[in-house]
Protein backbone atom coordinates (compact mmCIF):
# COMPACT_ATOMS: atom_id res chain seq x y z
CA UNK A 1 0.00 0.00 0.00
CA UNK A 2 1.06 3.57 -0.61
CA UNK A 3 3.02 5.34 2.09
CA UNK A 4 1.60 8.62 0.91
CA UNK A 5 -1.17 9.62 -1.48
CA UNK A 6 -0.44 13.06 -2.89
CA UNK A 7 -2.96 15.63 -1.68
CA UNK A 8 -3.55 16.82 -5.24
CA UNK A 9 -4.47 13.31 -6.41
CA UNK A 10 -8.01 13.40 -5.03
CA UNK A 11 -8.62 16.87 -6.42
CA UNK A 12 -7.29 15.84 -9.84
CA UNK A 13 -9.40 12.68 -9.72
CA UNK A 14 -12.57 14.64 -8.96
CA UNK A 15 -11.81 17.14 -11.73
CA UNK A 16 -11.36 14.25 -14.21
CA UNK A 17 -7.71 15.26 -14.66
CA UNK A 18 -6.82 11.65 -13.83
CA UNK A 19 -8.72 8.68 -15.23
CA UNK A 20 -7.25 5.50 -13.76
CA UNK A 21 -9.01 3.35 -16.37
CA UNK A 22 -7.94 5.23 -19.50
CA UNK A 23 -4.81 7.30 -18.73
CA UNK A 24 -1.26 5.99 -18.96
CA UNK A 25 -0.15 5.40 -15.37
CA UNK A 26 3.58 5.07 -14.79
CA UNK A 27 5.88 4.15 -11.95
CA UNK A 28 9.11 6.13 -11.66
CA UNK A 29 11.95 5.58 -9.21
CA UNK A 30 13.43 8.33 -7.06
CA UNK A 31 16.72 8.71 -5.17
CA UNK A 32 17.08 9.16 -1.43
CA UNK A 33 17.56 12.91 -2.03
CA UNK A 34 13.81 13.28 -2.55
CA UNK A 35 11.91 14.97 0.28
CA UNK A 36 8.14 14.66 0.13
CA UNK A 37 6.05 17.82 -0.03
CA UNK A 38 2.27 18.22 -0.18
CA UNK A 39 2.99 21.01 -2.67
CA UNK A 40 4.18 18.46 -5.22
CA UNK A 41 1.48 17.99 -7.83
CA UNK A 42 3.09 16.86 -11.08
CA UNK A 43 6.03 14.94 -12.50
CA UNK A 44 8.02 18.14 -13.06
CA UNK A 45 8.02 18.62 -9.25
CA UNK A 46 9.88 15.33 -8.70
CA UNK A 47 11.77 14.68 -11.95
CA UNK A 48 15.07 16.12 -10.72
CA UNK A 49 15.11 13.36 -8.07
CA UNK A 50 14.54 10.52 -10.53
CA UNK A 51 17.17 7.80 -10.62
CA UNK A 52 19.47 7.38 -13.56
CA UNK A 53 20.76 4.00 -14.58
CA UNK A 54 24.29 3.38 -13.37
CA UNK A 55 26.64 4.06 -16.29
CA UNK A 56 28.91 1.24 -15.10
CA UNK A 57 26.45 -1.37 -16.34
CA UNK A 58 26.14 -2.29 -19.99
CA UNK A 59 23.62 -0.21 -22.00
CA UNK A 60 20.73 0.38 -21.66
CA UNK A 61 21.28 -0.21 -17.93
CA UNK A 62 17.63 -1.10 -17.37
CA UNK A 63 16.00 2.26 -16.56
CA UNK A 64 14.42 4.85 -18.81
CA UNK A 65 13.60 8.37 -17.65
CA UNK A 66 9.92 8.54 -16.72
CA UNK A 67 9.80 4.97 -15.45
CA UNK A 68 7.65 2.10 -16.69
CA UNK A 69 3.98 1.91 -17.57
CA UNK A 70 1.85 0.15 -14.97
CA UNK A 71 0.01 -2.70 -16.70
CA UNK A 72 -3.38 -4.27 -16.09
CA UNK A 73 -4.82 -1.66 -13.77
CA UNK A 74 -7.93 -2.95 -12.03
CA UNK A 75 -10.34 -1.08 -9.80
CA UNK A 76 -12.79 -3.24 -7.89
CA UNK A 77 -14.55 -2.80 -4.55
CA UNK A 78 -12.66 0.43 -3.84
CA UNK A 79 -9.23 -1.12 -4.42
CA UNK A 80 -6.74 -0.07 -7.10
CA UNK A 81 -4.44 -2.89 -8.15
CA UNK A 82 -2.15 -3.68 -11.08
CA UNK A 83 0.72 -5.87 -12.17
CA UNK A 84 4.04 -5.44 -10.39
CA UNK A 85 6.51 -3.17 -12.20
CA UNK A 86 10.03 -4.32 -13.02
CA UNK A 87 13.22 -3.26 -14.73
CA UNK A 88 15.15 -6.35 -15.90
CA UNK A 89 18.96 -6.44 -16.16
CA UNK A 90 19.14 -3.12 -14.34
CA UNK A 91 21.80 -1.13 -12.55
CA UNK A 92 19.63 1.04 -10.30
CA UNK A 93 19.72 2.52 -6.79
CA UNK A 94 16.34 3.87 -5.64
CA UNK A 95 14.75 4.80 -2.33
CA UNK A 96 11.22 5.66 -3.52
CA UNK A 97 8.72 4.73 -6.21
CA UNK A 98 6.08 7.16 -7.39
CA UNK A 99 2.89 6.54 -9.37
CA UNK A 100 1.75 9.24 -11.73
CA UNK A 101 -0.42 9.90 -14.76
CA UNK A 102 1.80 10.37 -17.82
CA UNK A 103 0.18 13.00 -20.04
CA UNK A 104 3.33 13.50 -22.12
CA UNK A 105 3.82 16.93 -20.53
CA UNK A 106 5.66 17.00 -17.16
CA UNK A 107 3.56 19.86 -15.74
CA UNK A 108 0.29 17.97 -16.37
CA UNK A 109 1.59 14.50 -15.52
CA UNK A 110 -0.14 14.42 -12.16
CA UNK A 111 1.23 12.56 -9.12
CA UNK A 112 -0.80 9.82 -7.45
CA UNK A 113 1.14 8.10 -4.67
CA UNK A 114 4.60 7.72 -3.16
CA UNK A 115 6.09 4.46 -1.89
CA UNK A 116 9.05 4.42 0.52
CA UNK A 117 11.26 1.42 -0.29
CA UNK A 118 12.76 1.44 3.22
CA UNK A 119 16.14 2.84 2.19
CA UNK A 120 18.23 2.45 -0.92
CA UNK A 121 17.50 -0.66 -2.97
CA UNK A 122 20.13 -1.56 -5.55
CA UNK A 123 20.41 -3.91 -8.49
CA UNK A 124 23.58 -4.78 -10.38
CA UNK A 125 22.47 -6.50 -13.54
CA UNK A 126 19.43 -8.11 -11.94
CA UNK A 127 15.72 -7.27 -11.97
CA UNK A 128 14.52 -4.31 -9.90
CA UNK A 129 10.88 -4.98 -8.99
CA UNK A 130 8.17 -2.95 -7.30
CA UNK A 131 5.83 -5.58 -5.85
CA UNK A 132 2.50 -4.10 -4.89
CA UNK A 133 0.91 -5.12 -1.59
CA UNK A 134 -1.29 -8.23 -1.72
CA UNK A 135 -4.27 -6.05 -0.71
CA UNK A 136 -3.72 -3.67 -3.63
CA UNK A 137 -1.92 -0.42 -4.39
CA UNK A 138 -4.54 1.96 -2.99
CA UNK A 139 -7.77 1.47 -1.10
CA UNK A 140 -10.58 3.99 -1.34
CA UNK A 141 -12.53 3.67 1.90
CA UNK A 142 -16.26 4.11 1.82
CA UNK A 143 -18.56 4.75 4.74
CA UNK A 144 -22.19 3.73 4.80
Q: Is residue 141 part of a domain?
A: no
Which DSSP state fits 50?
Answer: B
Strands 111-130 and 4-5: antiparallel
Query: Residue 53 — very low, low, confident or very high, per pLDDT cuts 50/70/90?
Result: low
pTM (2 decimals)? 0.90
How high is the pLDDT of residue 38? 87
Distance CA 59, CA 40 (A): 32
pLDDT in tens, 1-25: 458 999 999 999 999 999 999 999 9
Q: Is residue 40 part of a domain?
A: yes
CB 70 within 8 A of CB 82: yes
* Number of domains observed in the structure of the chain: 1
Amino acid sequence: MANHVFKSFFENLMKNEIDLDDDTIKCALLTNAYVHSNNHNAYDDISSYEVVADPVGPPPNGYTTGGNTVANIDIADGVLDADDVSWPSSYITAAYAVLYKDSGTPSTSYLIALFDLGGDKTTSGTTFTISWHANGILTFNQSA
